[in-house]
A and B are shown apart, each in its own frame.
Chain A
């Protein structure tokens, strides 16, 4: 465990010094800070504007940071030969993969805490109230990004970073759209089973990223999540189980990999 944590610490230390990640974080923070200034141009209420803007920016920044950070986690270590000095020590490959993932998730946690703090301060000042549900929404987006990081890490065990950008981005898009697409198809009686079944299978296989987006009930208090607590717990558990499965798959692929 010591080795896993040492690798996680080194990954975190390196990630928070990556210029591209910090530029994305900084840009997100600036946009959140100036979001109240857009009120005159928006046709919506102040609450809707501030919250939807903030959540949107945070989700976008979290998504980009997760993908950009994780595509290079393993290929870069191989290219720079750092991995050889690590794997020649008493470090199993699973230590390396899990350590890399924990380092990536720590970075995401850091990024979400920074963005979340600024978002909550801005919403408190602009709206004159603090809605604790904003924190719930942020936590759900954090789990969404952590799941996306696991998907990207899995792909990084066997594809190049460039291919990984498209694969992970594609999985994220499809994972956000598949469930609503399936609902539309199921409501349409003209769709044949030949079309419906593959989409159903794909919906089961691909991680459902849409479930983590609970910003609508937060922005519009009249929309209520039925059995909110159970929904949140289920969604978080879904993320954890999916992440564990992806890490197991990553370790299995990486164990066979020759570098």
Chain B
């Protein structure tokens, strides 16, 4: 028995090593004093300082955060509506197909999503003159499109696990449909929406492929800048930047998980 558990611990340890050793190495090397990425020269924060003085990277970070914030917010609103329709409209013709359409972007290769959106934007521009050129707006639209699917799935699953008698009770006590939604349904699904928002935020922040298709000159997102810099060689500065991104994304993901867990405990005491 004891050997058995030792074997289990070893394989778990190996698994985690496989997953996280590269990230740990990256984080350690971001504090490297040396200019050469592969040579250790002692601890230092100098690459973080340089990072914050690099205007190109700081601009890209600002663009990325702005895009992530706006598209996560838009995706949350639209995704909530989609999730609501999917779980509350009862059985209607084409419901399964609609559910498929909403969730398709989850499995669609990003290259295809990116390419098709690019073609759409170009066509729209020549037909209506909007969106004029490609830039922040087009990236926001593209990110909203694929983040919406995530929010819809999270909200739908929350809604279908929601006790429907709560809504009936509210109606019974005199709540008309609009106040029912804002006073009962929305507060109860808000943790799902919030965690959907956080997921969308990180997805948007991470995205390289779709953004590359639909961005224009001067609107490079952070992942695009990193990617183009890395092609010229990895600098310790990039390590520092990557460490910060890991930090932001981890915080967002952990917060999302925490909110969902707290909610489920709260619902089923």
User: Do A and B interact with each other, yes or no?
Assistant: no
Binding site for A on B (CB under 8 A): none
